[in-house]
Structures are given as C-alpha cells and as structure tokens.
Structure 1
Amino acid sequence: MFNWLLASPDATERVPEDKIDSTYKKKQIGVLVATSFSYIAYYIIRLVFTTEQGAIMKEYGFQLHKLD
C-alpha cells in the first residue's frame, strides 16, 4: 500500500561523463520549477480561503471571538 514511500533501487545505467553537467542542471531546474509552482499554489489556495472565510463561517454557524 505504501510502496511509493520505499527507497528507489539504485540506477542501472550511468549518465555519460560528457552529459553529467547538463543532466544535473536540467534536474536542478526541474526541482526549482516544481517547488515554485507548489509555493504559488499554496498562496493562491490560502488567498481564496481567506477571502471566503467570512462566508464559510457564516454558512456553518461559526463566530470569530477576539482575545482580550
């Protein structure tokens, strides 16, 4: 069920010596892009929830109490 959490097996093929730098750069940029999209998605969802918070609280009967 949780096989996707297990460590991946070691690679059987090696990257050729002359392509190590370019392959590393591509992987590095891919991780940067994925992280950036995740961060942007988080803030969009946070913004939407914040703008709809009042309507959601009203719909489900919640009240916001201030702490003194």
Structure 2
Amino acid sequence: MAYAYASDLVAGLRRIIACMVAVEQIRTLPTYGLNEFHVSTLSRSDLTYAIAHILGGASDEDERIS
C-alpha cells in the first residue's frame, strides 16, 4: 500500500509542477508580444481549469468538465 500512496503523491506533485510551469510561461510570453494562448492538456480538463483559475480566467462558480 505504501508504494501506491507514494506513486499517487508523485503523480499529484507532477501535475502541480506542470500547472505552475504553464502559468509562468503564459505570464512571461506577453513580454515577447504573444497575447493569445491555446492550452492543450491532452484530455486533462482539471489541469486546464487550474491554469485558467490561477490566471483569473475561471471562477469557483464555473463548471468543471469531468
């Protein structure tokens, strides 16, 4: 059981890091004149929602697609 928990923990940590890397890249790109973005998370709508939420594009009332 401990291995499954550690595996889940690592997977969750990877998702958080991926989300924050995407957010930092999106925040940096307007400096170079890029003001429109398409976020592709390969059918992981929770990551798209999290990125939009951090950037101010999604509110708590928005429905998440499961």
| TM-score (structure 2 length as normaliser) | 0.48
Structure with greater helix share of residues: 1
Task: Look at both structures and tell me which one has the larger radius of gyration over its CA atoms.
Answer: 1
| TM-score (structure 1 length as normaliser) | 0.47
